[in-house]
A and B are shown apart, each in its own frame.
Chain A
């Protein structure tokens, strides 16, 4: 299960926060934990370089893309490698939508489209689509090219 997807700006403000199977009372804790993790480790990290952490049986893969930090939390079958796959799909979709590495402003300008991408990539905690071309077409309700 992909437990959480979180986007924050460079000051640690939340831009997108989606939880799956995480009780409401634990969400705030996760939010502050992830933001702190980012603040401690993401400084000076190159765009899209992945960082990993694990806590008990939960894995966290996170990265930075322009002004935006992205966190993916998973457990069980979604271990660090599966999450790396998820975050890779996410970063490439975001870059596609924004046309370049996003600033915070650009990210917010394209907010609706980004929500659609996330909807295509993760569906209630399961990975649904990974290919960037397909996602680009799907958010415009265009069928994939390859079939």
Chain B
């Protein structure tokens, strides 16, 4: 049949249908590989078969041991051919097959021959193959050739040996280290790539010898480096040297800075960028040092090359975290990147702008972001949402615009993680900015009207139940909640029932109507929903009349479960169905993992719904319950504050003890959490003998020993002291653990003897002024400062003497007072000569305190501080000054 004449290249459809590897199969290719054994080799055909083998390997196909060995032996036969193209393929194939040690010997002699060949290219490739497949013993045999190759005049041979050296350094460092003279010579090579590879290898050989690296850098920064790649390496090594010789940072004569600065004028963009980044990452970089680097990065922002734009905006994004002011000059260029086609660049630009923007630019920025959000992927959106959350916390007055933005994007399409990030942000804003509460709650209500994620719906309903009843018009939320009972799945319906009950309990006027709604839920198709409705109808009481809800009921609805969930779970699992009902009181209350969890997350801020509002206080609640359940302490009144656990033993000792300080108005209780780590011992009658001779204002009033402390089951013993009311008494206490130790059979846990009394010395414990201060943040420091007024303001100045740095002085005063830093003022910008730090807290007796600290560097290292205190009580203001004066 006649075919229309078509030029092959023009017929794209035909091309696409037919692939040279169509239907390729491993078994068939392995069969084909037998051509390698032909006495008359056909180089073209052999190359084709190798290509097929490579194709298979590149598709992730693997050969088993037998197959690999067979192919490898056949391939070695191809060394007989003089065809150059085939030889090149053979080299690659051997590397890909990476033969085992016992097979390598087959090719060693062929490769050794190539290594001494007159043809340079045989030498280079043989080196690469040999180094890939060799082991230590063979390496010593060829070492001599490799050393020669490093200084070979052919750059390909030299590079092959140098790159091999970099790989071999991992496996045979002692051999490669012997080549440093040759490598040193190669660093001076005129061939750019040889210099690059040699520099990388030389640095790796000497990386643990600081002096040698420093010398290398000194000599190279004075000379010329030809390759831009090598120059980049040199810049990296230089910054390493600068970091390690971190001296003379004050006077501005930082070593090698001039070199870095000169690299900003290099002709290769790669080098310019590397130098700019190096400068921005210098420790304690000054704005004078930073300026030229920022200028070149700013130029890169409008480069036509996406990679350069990305690199520049990524670096500026990092700089914005520490020096936001330095980056503001680039804001206009950055704003134009919001519409960049590459979404990674656009997102980085947005998040940088959100960091550097000031209060007045927020609205304009939000307008631009709105257009941008619709066409980026969820993972980028999450980054933006998080940036907006921090911006809102930074400028609380702008909450309206930012909250509206969040609620708008909440309505748009998006996956779970994205929606969760938005909801978390709204929750955090509601919690931290009181003014934002009502509008935020309404946004959440609207969201659950059309929320496809059960998890988010239930979490929001829970949050609504806690925050909704506290608002001025709680009734407006009921409609949204009750709609859930009609429209959602059982899990959400059950959560909605609980939320309704909370409104009924807290808002007496709503109670009759809530009762009507709850009664309707009694006919729900799901038993959990019905059970909850029945339970709440019975517990709320009053039969639907407008009466005040019992304190116990409120406690039941809102109080946190005073039992660790892990313990409850274990007990429930162990409970066997019987006549005897499950007894909640029998669940152990010892908090096993709690101290550990607290240690892991010091000062961690609650994040969104993951940690509901009761989250941070739940520890305090748990402590409060625990303490009030002990008759000896029940008269102490309300618990003011509990400290984080303080370790009184070293890690991994026989007995692990930490202590929590509980502060009451007139008392202090030490809770000693003890763990016995010896399986062969049972401790009984465990108590702590406290010597309070260095704490004059304290007198011991009660002690509660622990009856028994078996292996690996933590328990608590308590000691209580009385102290003068309202006085932040301080003192030092020495502690001795006293107990009766019994030997036990670890397998049965039975005691083998009557035991004997023993003591175990613990570390000392201090009660300090900060223990009487609760860290309570304020949303807007200036407003709070103004509203507390100057009536009880006390101002004084202090000399803090010589200090290591301003940062150190600031954090020392913060920890002395134990107050909450506000608005990020605990961070001191690098090289600042003065700093203002704002603190807030609540002092014992529930007195609100605000502190404004102004630090200044006075003389070479001396630091002076002006302390202004405002509080609701003049005695407290004076007391803060006393704490600082005596600290």
> Which of A's residues lie within 8 Å of B, judged by CB?
14-18, 27, 40-41, 49-54, 61, 77, 79-85, 103-106, 108-109, 111-112, 115-116, 119, 123-124, 126-131, 134, 138-144, 146-147
Q: Are A103 and B58 in contact (CB under 8 A)?
A: no
Cα–Cα distance between A143 and B47 once the two chains are bound (Å) = 21
Question: Which residues in A have their C-beta under 8 angstroms from that of B191?
Answer: 146-147
9 sample A-B contacts, Cβ–Cβ < 8 Å, listed by A number: A79-B311, A82-B270, A103-B15, A111-B51, A112-B50, A115-B92, A123-B128, A123-B163, A143-B120
Q: Which of B81-139 contact A (CB under 8 A)?
A: 84-85, 87-89, 92, 95, 119-122, 125, 128, 132
Q: Which residue of A lies closest to B59 (CB)?
A: A14
Q: Does B345 contact A (CB under 8 A)?
A: yes
Cα–Cα distance between A14 and B56 once the two chains are bound (Å) = 11
Instruction: From known contacts A85-B229, A103-B16, infer whether A41 and B122 are also in contact, taking CB-CB under 8 Å.
Output: no
Cα–Cα distance between A143 and B154 once the two chains are bound (Å) = 8
Chain B 5-28 per-residue mask, 1 if CB under 8 angstroms from chain A, else 0: 000000010011011110000000
Q: Are B163 and A80 in contact (CB under 8 A)?
A: no
Question: Which residues in B have their C-beta under 8 angstroms from that of A105?
Answer: 15-16, 18-20
Instruction: From known contacts A40-B377, A81-B273, A142-B121, infer whether A111 and B306 are also in contact, taking CB-CB under 8 Å.
Output: no
Cα–Cα distance between A108 and B55 once the two chains are bound (Å) = 9
Chain B 568-590 per-residue mask, 1 if CB under 8 angstroms from chain A, else 0: 00000000000000000000000
Instruction: From known contacts A111-B55, A112-B54, A116-B89, infer whether A138 and B310 are also in contact, taking CB-CB under 8 Å.
Output: no
A49-B306, A50-B307, A131-B193 are known; give 14 further A-B pairs, CB within 8 A: A14-B59, A50-B305, A54-B344, A61-B307, A80-B307, A81-B274, A82-B229, A82-B270, A116-B92, A129-B156, A140-B84, A141-B87, A147-B153, A147-B155
Cα–Cα distance between A83 and B128 once the two chains are bound (Å) = 23
Interchain nearest-CB distance for A147 vs B (Å): 6
Size range of the chain B interface in the assembly: 35 or more
Q: Which residue of B lies closest to A142 (CB)?
A: B121
Question: Which residues in B have their C-beta under 8 angstroms from that of A127?
Answer: 229
Binding site secondary structure of chain A: mixed
- 3 smallest beta-carbon distances between A and B, as pairs: A112-B51, A105-B15, A52-B310
Q: Does B243 contact A (CB under 8 A)?
A: no
Q: Are A17 and B59 in contact (CB under 8 A)?
A: yes
Q: A144: which of B15, B156, B342 is its contact (CB, 8 Å)?
A: B156
Question: Which residues in A have their C-beta under 8 angstroms from that of B270?
Answer: 81-82, 85
Q: Does B233 contact A (CB under 8 A)?
A: yes
Q: Are B19 and A115 in contact (CB under 8 A)?
A: no
Question: Which residues in A have their C-beta under 8 angstroms from that of B95?
Answer: 119
Interchain nearest-CB distance for A100 vs B (Å): 9
Question: Which residues in A have their C-beta under 8 angstroms from that of B119?
Answer: 141
Cα–Cα distance between A49 and B48 once the two chains are bound (Å) = 32
Q: A147: which of B154, B163, B307, B311 is its contact (CB, 8 Å)?
A: B154
Question: Which residues in A have their C-beta under 8 angstroms from that of B193?
Answer: 128-131
Q: Are B20 and A80 in contact (CB under 8 A)?
A: no
Cα–Cα distance between A127 and B166 once the two chains are bound (Å) = 11
Question: Which residues in A have their C-beta under 8 angstroms from that of B55?
Answer: 111
Interchain nearest-CB distance for A8 vs B (Å): 11
Q: Are B156 and A80 in contact (CB under 8 A)?
A: no
Instruction: From known contacts A17-B59, A84-B307, infer whether A109 and B84 are also in contact, taking CB-CB under 8 Å.
Output: no
Question: Which residues in B have their C-beta under 8 angstroms from that of A129?
Answer: 156, 159, 193
Question: Which residues in A have their C-beta under 8 angstroms from that of B154?
Answer: 143-144, 147
Question: Which residues in A have their C-beta under 8 angstroms from that of B269?
Answer: 81
Cα–Cα distance between A142 and B84 once the two chains are bound (Å) = 9
Q: Are A51 and B156 in contact (CB under 8 A)?
A: no
Interchain nearest-CB distance for A91 vs B (Å): 13
Q: Are B236 and A115 in contact (CB under 8 A)?
A: no
Cα–Cα distance between A104 and B17 once the two chains are bound (Å) = 10
Q: Does B167 contact A (CB under 8 A)?
A: yes
Cα–Cα distance between A124 and B159 once the two chains are bound (Å) = 14
Q: Does B343 contact A (CB under 8 A)?
A: yes
Cα–Cα distance between A16 and B232 once the two chains are bound (Å) = 30
Cα–Cα distance between A130 and B159 once the two chains are bound (Å) = 12
Q: Does B4 contact A (CB under 8 A)?
A: no
Cα–Cα distance between A105 and B89 once the two chains are bound (Å) = 21
Question: Which residues in A have their C-beta under 8 angstroms from that of B344?
Answer: 51-54
Question: Which residues in A have their C-beta under 8 angstroms from that of B153?
Answer: 147
Cα–Cα distance between A77 and B274 once the two chains are bound (Å) = 11
Q: Which residue of A lies closest to B21 (CB)?
A: A108
Q: Are A50 and B20 in contact (CB under 8 A)?
A: no
Q: Are A80 and B58 in contact (CB under 8 A)?
A: no
Question: Which residues in A have their C-beta under 8 angstroms from that of B120?
Answer: 143
Cα–Cα distance between A79 and B270 once the two chains are bound (Å) = 11
Q: Which residue of B lies closest to A55 (CB)?
A: B379
Q: Which residue of B lies closest to A53 (CB)?
A: B344
Cα–Cα distance between A109 and B8 once the two chains are bound (Å) = 14
Question: Which residues in B have their C-beta under 8 angstroms from that of A61?
Answer: 307
Question: Which residues in B have their C-beta under 8 angstroms from that of A144?
Answer: 154-156
Question: Which residues in B have their C-beta under 8 angstroms from that of A115?
Answer: 51, 54, 58, 92
Question: Which residues in A have their C-beta under 8 angstroms from that of B311?
Answer: 52, 79-81
Q: Does B223 contact A (CB under 8 A)?
A: no
Question: Which residues in A have their C-beta under 8 angstroms from that of B19?
Answer: 104-105, 108
Cα–Cα distance between A85 and B270 once the two chains are bound (Å) = 9
Q: Are A126 and B166 in contact (CB under 8 A)?
A: yes
Cα–Cα distance between A124 and B171 once the two chains are bound (Å) = 14
Cα–Cα distance between A80 and B348 once the two chains are bound (Å) = 15
Interchain nearest-CB distance for B24 vs A (Å): 10
Q: Are B155 and A141 in contact (CB under 8 A)?
A: no
Q: Are B310 and A140 in contact (CB under 8 A)?
A: no
Cα–Cα distance between A126 and B122 once the two chains are bound (Å) = 21
Cα–Cα distance between A142 and B311 once the two chains are bound (Å) = 37
Question: Which residues in B have their C-beta under 8 angstroms from that of A52?
Answer: 306-307, 310-311, 342, 344-345
Cα–Cα distance between A80 and B88 once the two chains are bound (Å) = 31
Q: Are B20 and A119 in contact (CB under 8 A)?
A: no
Q: Does B60 contact A (CB under 8 A)?
A: yes
Q: Which residue of A lies closest to B19 (CB)?
A: A108
Cα–Cα distance between A119 and B89 once the two chains are bound (Å) = 10
Q: Does B484 contact A (CB under 8 A)?
A: no
Q: Are A112 and B47 in contact (CB under 8 A)?
A: yes
Q: Does B437 contact A (CB under 8 A)?
A: no
Q: Which residue of A lies closest to B344 (CB)?
A: A53
Q: Which residue of A lies closest to B379 (CB)?
A: A55
Q: Which residue of A lies closest to B125 (CB)?
A: A141
Instruction: From known contacts A105-B16, A105-B19, A130-B193, infer whether A143 and B156 are also in contact, taking CB-CB under 8 Å.
Output: yes
Q: A108: which of B20, B310, B343 is its contact (CB, 8 Å)?
A: B20
Interchain nearest-CB distance for B156 vs A (Å): 6
Q: Are A116 and B273 in contact (CB under 8 A)?
A: no
Interchain nearest-CB distance for A54 vs B (Å): 7
Cα–Cα distance between A104 and B12 once the two chains are bound (Å) = 10
Question: Which residues in B have their C-beta under 8 angstroms from that of A147?
Answer: 153-155, 191
Most buried by A among B95, B156, B166, B273: B156
Question: Which residues in B have their C-beta under 8 angstroms from that of A14?
Answer: 58-60
Cα–Cα distance between A111 and B236 once the two chains are bound (Å) = 37
Cα–Cα distance between A77 and B342 once the two chains are bound (Å) = 23
Q: Does B314 contact A (CB under 8 A)?
A: yes
Q: B58: which of A18, A109, A138 is its contact (CB, 8 Å)?
A: A18
Chain B 627-644 per-residue mask, 1 if CB under 8 angstroms from chain A, else 0: 000000000000000000
Q: Which residue of A lies closest to B306 (CB)?
A: A50
Q: Are A141 and B122 in contact (CB under 8 A)?
A: yes
Cα–Cα distance between A109 and B236 once the two chains are bound (Å) = 42
Interchain nearest-CB distance for A55 vs B (Å): 9
Chain B 749-788 per-residue mask, 1 if CB under 8 angstroms from chain A, else 0: 0000000000000000000000000000000000000000
Question: Which residues in B have their C-beta under 8 angstroms from that of A140?
Answer: 84-85, 88
Cα–Cα distance between A141 and B269 once the two chains are bound (Å) = 32
Cα–Cα distance between A115 and B342 once the two chains are bound (Å) = 30
Cα–Cα distance between A84 and B306 once the two chains are bound (Å) = 10
Question: Which residues in B have their C-beta under 8 angstroms from that of A104?
Answer: 15-16, 19
Question: Which residues in B have their C-beta under 8 angstroms from that of A79?
Answer: 311
Question: Which residues in B have their C-beta under 8 angstroms from that of A84?
Answer: 305, 307
Question: Which residues in A have their C-beta under 8 angstroms from that of B51?
Answer: 111-112, 115
Instruction: From known contacts A111-B54, A115-B92, infer whether A128 and B163 are also in contact, taking CB-CB under 8 Å.
Output: yes
